[in-house]
């Protein structure tokens, strides 16, 4: 006998039964897909805090324990022992690659990183100074005009080609969007560089300049920088059914082109309550200005009559320390030592962190530093411009979005997303 939940309408005395579906990890769910048909009512769940919108095998989060897994692998293992591209392969193929598969995957993405020459002309349509996220979203959507045949992939190889193409091109689009925003010439990808190093190269290089990854000279890309950014990409790769991922799945449900769905996800990510939070963290640290003013702003954050809120603390899902934040905390300490960093912003951030982790106000409310608090400081240390913080998030998350899109399209029981409402108007 299948397990069920019985609901009773106290107005009429009628009872209704709904099947319980068991999860392999985390909470089970009550299947209320027939709730309206049985009761003539809708359920109300503002912000979907208790509603599972889909079934998935990609990412698992336990917010109470502070646990995050991709395809069953802990985020700690992936961030510490595997590269971002190995994580991408895992998300797309449901297993970590062998040495040979990793090499072939890396090589394929290097060669797919170039943009169609006509696509590069699109950037000229945007004003110099345009925020890279706006340009990134538009350019990503335009990929559907160059690769329209990806609208309805049928075979695994077609799904893989579609996915690998946009994962490979996203760093190039992001770098071009930034360089256009400052009026700088584009730097084409270098197939002799790894995925993450290549992104830094396209951001920093000058035309015809030879940049090396070594420890000599000022115009270099240091191994520690590549390692740090690669880790950030891994931590951002997927995060279950967040706002932008739900947006991608929602657009996918309409039958739209996958690259258009990714563009919609980029737009959703741009919000300061989502992917734009780390940019807001840095702006707030700059506003605080000095270590001496930290206590003043901590007091404001604790004042119920003050609208001021500390950015980078607390999380919608995690009610424990965000596991990604723990990893970035260690990475920040490593960067501070290896890059000899002791900037004013880092001093302010460290003071805020010390207070928040020991102050009863923050502890009682489970307001732990989250990934945005640390990633903003680390990206600043890596000399990534603030306007590129969220595009860095996009680069890391693209593989998660496209994996979610593929899973959605392969599920024969999916329907167009169509939430209902509680009507209160005239």
Catalytic residue annotation: 315, 372
What burial class does residue 3 get, using C-beta atoms within 10 Å of its C-beta: 0-12 exposed, 13-18 middle, 19+ buried? exposed
3-state SS class at 100: helix
Question: What span, in angstroms and rounded, lies between the C-alpha atoms of 265 and 182?
Answer: 25
Task: List CB contacts of 253: < 8 A, sequence separation 6 or more.
Answer: 408, 414, 415, 416, 417
The strand pairing partners of 59, in sequence order, are 70
Look at the block and give the residue holding tokens 């009628």: 14
**Please, what is the Cα angle at 10 between 7 and 11, to 5 degrees?**
125
Question: What span, in angstroms and rounded, lies between the C-alpha atoms of 276 and 253?
Answer: 26
Task: List CB contacts of 350: < 8 A, sequence separation 6 or more.
Answer: none
Question: What span, in angstroms and rounded, lies between the C-alpha atoms of 41 and 10?
Answer: 14
Report the Cα 212 to chain-centroid distance in Å. Answer: 29
Question: What span, in angstroms and rounded, lies between the C-alpha atoms of 228 and 319?
Answer: 26
Q: Are 351 and 293 in contact (CB under 8 A)?
A: no
For residues 173-203, b (16+ Cβ closer than 10 Å) or e, as one string?
A: bbbbbbbbbeeeeebbbeeebbbbbbbbbbb
Tell me the torsion sign for CA atoms 241, 244, 245, 246: positive
Here the tokens at position 228 are 């740090």
E-state strands within 13-116: 15-21, 29-30, 59-62, 67-70, 73-74
Here the tokens at position 207 are 């035309």
The strand pairing partners of 74, in sequence order, are 69
């Amino acid at each position: 006998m299948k397990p069920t939940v019985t609901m009773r309408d106290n107005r009429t005395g009628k009872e209704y039964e709904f099947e319980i579906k068991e999860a392999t990890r985390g909470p089970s769910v009550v299947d209320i897909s027939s709730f309206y048909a049985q009761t003539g009512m809708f359920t109300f769940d503002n912000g979907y805090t208790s509603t599972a919108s889909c079934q998935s095998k990609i990412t698992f989060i336990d917010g109470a324990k502070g646990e995050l897994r991709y395809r069953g692998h802990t985020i700690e293992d992936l961030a510490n022992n595997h590269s971002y591209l190995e994580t991408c392969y895992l998300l797309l193929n449901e297993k970590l690659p062998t040495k040979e598969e990793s090499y072939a995957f890396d090589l394929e993405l290097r060669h797919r990183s170039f943009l169609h020459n006509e696509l590069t002309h699109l950037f000229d349509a945007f004003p110099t100074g345009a925020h890279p996220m706006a340009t990134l979203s538009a350019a990503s959507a335009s990929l559907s005009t160059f690769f329209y045949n990806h609208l309805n992939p049928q075979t695994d190889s077609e799904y893989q080609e579609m996915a690998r193409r946009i994962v490979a091109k996203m760093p190039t689009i992001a770098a071009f969007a930034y360089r256009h925003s400052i009026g700088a010439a584009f730097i084409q990808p270098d197939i002799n560089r790894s995925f993450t190093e290549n992104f830094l190269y396209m951001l920093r290089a000058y035309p015809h300049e030879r940049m090396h990854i070594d420890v000599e000279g000022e115009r270099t890309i240091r191994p520690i920088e590549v390692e740090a950014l690669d880790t950030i990409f891994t931590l951002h790769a997927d995060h279950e059914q967040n706002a932008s991922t739900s947006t991608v799945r929602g657009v996918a449900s309409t039958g739209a082109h996958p690259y258009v769905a990714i563009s919609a996800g980029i737009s959703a990510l741009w919000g300061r309550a989502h992917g734009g939070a780390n940019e807001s963290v840095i702006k707030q640290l700059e506003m605080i200005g000095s270590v001496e003013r930290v206590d003043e702003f901590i007091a404001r954050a604790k004042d119920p009559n003050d609208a001021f809120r500390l950015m980078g603390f607390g999380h919608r899902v995690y009610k424990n320390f965000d596991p990604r934040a723990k990893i970035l905390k260690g990475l920040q300490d490593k960067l501070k030592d290896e890059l000899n960093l002791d900037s004013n912003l880092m001093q302010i951030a460290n003071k805020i962190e010390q207070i928040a982790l020991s102050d009863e106000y923050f502890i009682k409310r489970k307001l732990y530093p989250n990934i945005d608090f640390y990633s903003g400081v680390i990206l600043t240390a890596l000399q990534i411009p603030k306007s590129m913080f969220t595009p860095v998030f996009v680069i890391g998350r693209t593989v998660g979005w496209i994996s979610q899109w593929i899973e959605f399209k392969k599920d024969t029981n999916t329907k167009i997303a169509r939430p209902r409402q509680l009507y209160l108007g005239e």
